[in-house]
Amino acid sequence: MHVIRHQQQKYPESVAEQEQLVAGVLSGTVPPCLILTEHPPVYTIGTSGSESDVLMRQVDGDQIAVYPTGRGGEVTYHGPGQLVCYVIADLRCEPDLHRHVWRLEEMVIRTLADFGVQAERDARGIGVWVGGLKIAAAGVRCRKWVSFHGIAVNHRPNLKHFSGIVPCGMQDQPVTSMQKLGLDVPREVLESTLISHCNTLFDPLART
């Protein structure tokens, strides 16, 4: 995976970048990519979501933007301290979105295991969970079997911002973060660990 890092990006700029990369992968001019970034506070509404799931647009003194987006899933939050992993993967040799989402989740599960945290999948929905609390939310979109969007890891975000929405359709807002679990992991260390597991999981796909 070619890795692209941004300290922070506005959400619309990130979507535009992904669109360009998807076009490049489809044309054969760009390799599969992993984008690592953060966003200013934003609520995004997936194809299964509704504006009614946005309860407040000002939370804890911050004004939070709202954008509809083409990814699957409902409403989620992105903001500073949350590391977003956008995976632009060529799935034409293995057109299986369930397997793709499994890889995204597995990338985070293996990363957290390296920091001593037992994470898992949960029947309540896609993503990664620790002790019944969601620590990473996933949502993907596919164009001609090239994927984009991805998974967002709650590194050390302001968890109060989740109170402005019904996150992923869950009324009780069961979210957590690495920081809340007592993990003081620098972002660059988290990134390098995620990159390692991303390469392990996605390189075989690229070589197919």
Amino acid symbol at 36? L
Which helix (H) or strand (E) covers residue 133, if one does? strand 133-143
CA-CA distance, 12 to 15, in Å (whole number)? 5
Bridge partners, 45 (sequence order): 68, 75
For tokens 């999981």, name the residue: 201
CA-CA distance, 80 to 97, in Å (whole number)? 28
Instruction: Point out the residues that are catalytic.
Output: 168
Q: How many CA atoms lie within 13 A of 154 on its CB side?
A: 27
What region does 145 belong to: left with phi over 0, alpha with psi -120 to 50, or beta?
left
Residue 63 CB: number of other CB atoms within 10 A? 9
Bridge partners, 67 (sequence order): 44
Which helix (H) or strand (E) covers residue 59, if one does? strand 58-59
